[in-house]
């Protein structure tokens, strides 16, 4: 097994001050495999674990409301609020669950915790933020119903699952107002939240994947109620970004969830991270249980624990996970588990894919790793230090193979071979390829080889997400950082440029087609070519033509250079 350098900086519920490296040779404290969890200032990422989405400057709680509308559903009367465009927003509790127990669909329509009337918004699930902003009773969603959808419309529903490394985020995160997307796709948009972190994955009784079951509960709720709003119970499409996409990948590996949705969209899924297996989870669970002031068998004590005690134990686990289980890493150590009961397949290249029939859209952005690399290494790094990072992160033979690849070689100045060269561009390309782009392309080939349909895209235009602008490189012309696709899809980019507006229109048209037909092509835009088991024609989203494969060819990443899920497969 290859030895990996783990994060030296501890993760805690307290957001510590951060100082940029003072020299060109900073101490290595993270690996390429940890790119999903950047060690950067607290204000850079709205969905960084333990940092509240509430610090983000952009209001995303929905359009201003002006009237109230009632709809009769099988679960009771739904009260909503309408904005000036006619889109009606409904805040609702979709599920209920006792602590560390599976969730079930509610038996009556009810406002979520935090909403005292139809215009209210749900509190987030517990996370490292102001306790007044979250509630353990948090299984809630926001439904956006456009005026074009009426009883009998048989309209599709898109269910959005937020990111946040499985430990932060909510249905009211920045840019997640579904009104514009609902209007332009003629679809119901459901933005959901689910139990996070230890409350969603680390039950002391060893029951895991509770958060995965929450998503299934949300789909079951939608099947019950969307016909009352004009939707079709059989036309539900899942969509999510980052860990939200990772959650969808987990759902795709749950046979019992297959009849709950028709198709899926995965945006910026860090597919280099496989699911945890039961051996890995048992080690993490044991450590977590040891941090609690209760025996794992003392149900009374566990029930009476404060949320802050649970979050403190979660913080300790997050800080130690990568040393306990190297495969867990520091980015998403709390994540779905292939337990053989709910999740039955790794859904990666370590085992044959189960047969597939669903169509999927897979997308990444141009510079997925830029926020991490340039946020941490704020000054240029030398070629020597770059080589050291790669060697420590990957070990042999992977490091040697990567450093000899054309895509990752740092160009030497023709005028002075001894001059300092900034190796950050190559490091961010390598991180983008490993964690996101090439892993996604491999997944697409596997999906198609198993009978499914897949379309792969890459955003070359984005809208800077709140916090990303703190890394200057993410605001440079042509840069598209992690999360910069969110406000394109939702159409919520503030003061969009002409290029952004054009891409918003295109993506919402393609989503409308995909939600309706299972194919993202529309006569108004160039053909988006399906992936095959050997070829990926990744459409440039916001550009023209297809994005070059580079190192993401069929014989390089995943074969010549293994992904982490292959290295750590046990």
| Residue 307 parent element (H or E) | helix 307-324
∠ CA 335-247-549, rounded to 5°: 105
Catalytic residue among 103, 165, 242, 363: 242
Instruction: Give dist(CA 67, CA 359) in Å, integer.
Output: 38
C-alpha R_g of the chain: 23
Task: Answer yes or no: are the C-beta atoms of 177 and 61 closer than 8 Å.
Answer: yes
3-state helix, strand, coil in the chain (%, to 5): 35, 15, 50
Which helix (H) or strand (E) element contains residue 502?
Answer: helix 498-517
Contact status, residue 474 vs residue 547, Cβ threshold 8 Å = no
CA angle 258, 264, 266 (to 5 degrees): 130
Give dist(CA 106, CA 218) in Å, integer.
10
Spatial contact of 243 and 165, defined as CB atoms under 8 Å apart: yes
What is the helix (H) or strand (E) element at residue 514, kind and residue range?
helix 498-517
Written in H, E and C, the secondary structure of 96-113 is ECCCCCCCEECCCCCCCC
In three state form, how does the secondary structure of 191-228 look?
EECCCCHHHHHCCCCCCCCHHHHHHHHHHHHHHHHHHH
Can you list the alpha helix ranges (DSSP code H) found in 339-437?
Answer: 370-376, 383-394, 398-403, 424-431
242 in active site:
yes
List CB contacts of 491: < 8 A, sequence separation 6 or more.
Answer: 180, 181, 184, 504, 508
In a 13 Å sphere around the CA of 214, the CA atoms on its Cβ side amount to: 32
| H or E, element range at 245 | helix 243-252
Cis peptide before 471 (omega within 30 of 0): no
Catalytic annotation, residues:
242
């Amino acid at each position: 097994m290859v030895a990996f350098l783990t994060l030296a900086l501890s993760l805690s519920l307290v957001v510590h001050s951060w100082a940029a490296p003072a020299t060109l040779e900073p101490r290595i404290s993270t690996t390429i495999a940890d790119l999903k969890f950047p060690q950067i200032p607290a204000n850079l990422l709205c969905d960084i674990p333990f940092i509240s989405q509430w610090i983000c400057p952009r209001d995303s709680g929905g359009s201003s409301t002006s009237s109230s509308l009632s709809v009769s559903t099988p679960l009771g009367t739904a009260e909503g609020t309408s904005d000036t465009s006619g889109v009606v927003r409904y805040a609702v509790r979709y599920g209920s669950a006792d602590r560390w127990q599976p969730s079930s669909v509610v038996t009556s329509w009810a406002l979520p915790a935090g909403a005292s009337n139809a215009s209210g918004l749900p509190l987030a699930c517990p996370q490292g933020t102001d306790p007044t902003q979250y509630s353990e009773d948090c299984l809630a969603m926001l439904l956006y119903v456009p005026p074009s959808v009426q009883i009998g419309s048989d309209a599709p529903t898109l269910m959005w699952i937020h990111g946040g490394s499985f430990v932060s985020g909510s249905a009211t995160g920045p840019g997640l107002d579904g009104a514009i997307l609902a209007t332009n796709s003629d679809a119901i948009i459901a933005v959901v939240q689910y139990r996070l972190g230890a409350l969603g994955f680390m039950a002391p009784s060893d029951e895991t994947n509770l958060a995965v079951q929450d998503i299934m509960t949300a789909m079951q709720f939608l099947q019950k109620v969307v016909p009352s709003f004009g939707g079709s119970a059989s036309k539900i499409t899942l969509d999510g970004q980052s860990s939200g996409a990772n959650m969808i990948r987990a759902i795709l590996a749950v046979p019992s969830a297959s009849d709950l949705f028709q198709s899926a969209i995965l945006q910026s899924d860090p597919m280099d991270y496989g699911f945890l297996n039961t051996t890995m989870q048992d080690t993490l669970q044991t450590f977590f249980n040891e941090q609690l002031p209760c025996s794992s068998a003392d149900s009374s004590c566990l029930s009476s624990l404060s949320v802050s005690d649970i979050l403190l134990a979660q913080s300790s686990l997050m800080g130690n996970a990568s040393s306990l289980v190297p495969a867990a890493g520091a980015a998403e150590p709390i994540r779905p588990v292939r337990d053989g009961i709910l999740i039955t397949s790794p859904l990666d290249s370590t085992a044959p894919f189960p047969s597939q029939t669903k169509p999927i859209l897979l997308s990444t952005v141009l510079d997925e790793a830029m926020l991490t690399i340039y946020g941490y290494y704020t000054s240029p790094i030398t070629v020597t230090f770059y080589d050291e990072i790669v060697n420590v992160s990957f070990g042999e033979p992977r490091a040697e193979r990567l450093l000899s690849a054309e895509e990752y070689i740092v160009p030497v100045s023709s005028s002075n071979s001894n001059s300092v060269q900034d190796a950050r561009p190559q490091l961010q390309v390598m991180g983008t390829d490993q964690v996101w782009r090439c892993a996604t392309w491999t997944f697409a080939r596997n999906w198609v080889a198993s009978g499914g349909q897949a379309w792969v895209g890459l955003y070359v235009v984005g809208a800077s997400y709140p916090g990303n602008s703190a890394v200057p490189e993410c605001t440079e012309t042509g840069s598209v950082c992690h999360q910069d696709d969110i406000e394109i899809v939702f159409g919520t980019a503030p003061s969009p440029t002409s290029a952004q507006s054009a891409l918003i229109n295109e993506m919402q048209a393609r989503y409308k087609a995909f939600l309706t037909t299972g194919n993202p092509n529309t006569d108004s835009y160039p053909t988006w070519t399906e992936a095959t088991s050997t070829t990926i024609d990744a459409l440039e989203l916001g550009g023209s033509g297809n994005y070059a494969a580079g190192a993401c060819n069929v014989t390089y990443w995943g074969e010549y250079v293994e992904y982490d899920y292959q290295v750590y497969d046990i």
